[in-house]
Amino acid sequence: MSDTVTETVYENPVVKGTAPDPSLIRVGDDFYLATSTFNFLPGVTIRHSTDLVNWRIIGGAITRPAQYRRDGKPGGLMLFAPTLRYAEGTFYLVCTNVADEQGNFVVSTTDPAGEWSDAVWIDTVAFDPSLLYDNGTWYYTRRTLAPRADGRLGPVVQAELNITTGELGELRELTQNYGGFVTNDIEGPHLYRIGYWYYLFSAEGGSWKGTCSRARGAVRRGGRSSPPRTTRF
């Protein structure tokens, strides 16, 4: 018997129009995509696909002030860089409302095409938050934006997160020298676990001269997870 390879032909962009900061997950045979919407409502567009080519809008995660304002009242809205995750039957979306220093928050749902929860607020520092669920623990990772006199903007930081209350453990630095691996501006960090390694992917240098840096750290012996010590490779 010979294996049959079927070639799929498609044309980019597979999502046309305004769809910045894409975050994609797979749940079973389904793919879900979240994209930034900045100051528009519904906020954070959610799309669905079964082939990664044909995408259909199924809703917006952010629809009411209780999801993007700390006081739950109408006000400034500017949603940056969502991260979509799934664990144990629930979808989670972490995002930032940079208007009026509202900060970073997470919303959740069991039906991504339906209503999402009110915001659980995490912190007010910087933006580009990301989540990793590993061995029953949630890890929260984000950039820092606290410029020093030497021009360095800050490291990627991480802490354990109580996904229900938003309470953070102690933040620790994943990158050294108060910056990135190759520039003083590191952003958009996303951490993944594959087998016995954690992988950290980040953008560096800004959109006008940017690069993607990669780093990895080993899982502790016995499979016990912890925030990794990352080394660029």
Active site residues: 21, 187
Residues 6+ apart with CB under 8 A from 227: 139, 158, 159, 160, 172, 174
Report the C-alpha gap between 85 and 92 in whole angstroms: 5
User: Do 105 and 116 contact (CB within 8 A), yes or no?
Assistant: no
HSE of 161, CA atoms in CB hemisphere, 13 A: 25
- Within 13 Å, how many C-alpha atoms sit on residue 122's CB side? 33
Q: Could you count the other beta carbons within 10 Å of the beta carbon of residue 43?
A: 24
Q: Tell me, what amino acid is at 57? A: I
Tell me which DSSP letter residue 168 carries.
B
